[in-house]
Amino acid sequence: MRPIFFVFCEGETEVAYVNYLKSKYRLPIQIVPKKSDSNISCRYIENCKREYFTTASDKTFLMYDLDVDGVLDKLTCIPEVTLLVSNPCVELWFLLHNQECKSELDSKRCIAKYESVSPDYKKGSLNAFDLQLFNQGEDAAIARAKKLNTSGNPSTTVYKLLEALREERR
């Protein structure tokens, strides 16, 4: 039996991206969206997972933006999860599919930079251009993300989910 990939995330954009991965990799991915990170905890995760038949091989991921102070501290206190964090936001991960990004930025600037690559981009949904970019630039995005300092701005560890999905698909 294949493991379930539980992905807890904070917003509609992350849900749209994980849905894209779900259709691309065709693996059992359960998305647990949460609009606010304020209640993410071990207890919350355990309660959500009770709805599923789980095994020891299941994997749990927390996909959050670090543009709010204190989020990383809260997430690092949760054991046995893989953090998929982006500083400042998930659009950095999207941007890395097309180009290097080494300069510090805030969420507004990061989104604007991605909108210059994908003019029809709207938070919370992905268009055909975005999906094509993600398909074609996935390897480059992983390589670019790994070059970034994981505790700095910019940084993202979303690639860890892709690596886990690729490994499972083998």
The per-residue pLDDT for range 39-50, each reduced to its tens digit, is 789 999 999 999
CB 47 within 8 A of CB 67: no
* Sequence-distant (≥ 6) Cβ neighbours of residue 67 within 8 angstroms: 87, 88, 89, 106, 107
Calculate the average pLDDT of the chain: 94
Tell me which residue range forms the domain holding 148: 5-169
How many domains in the chain? 1
pTM of the model: 0.94
Mean pLDDT of all residues in 75-90 = 96
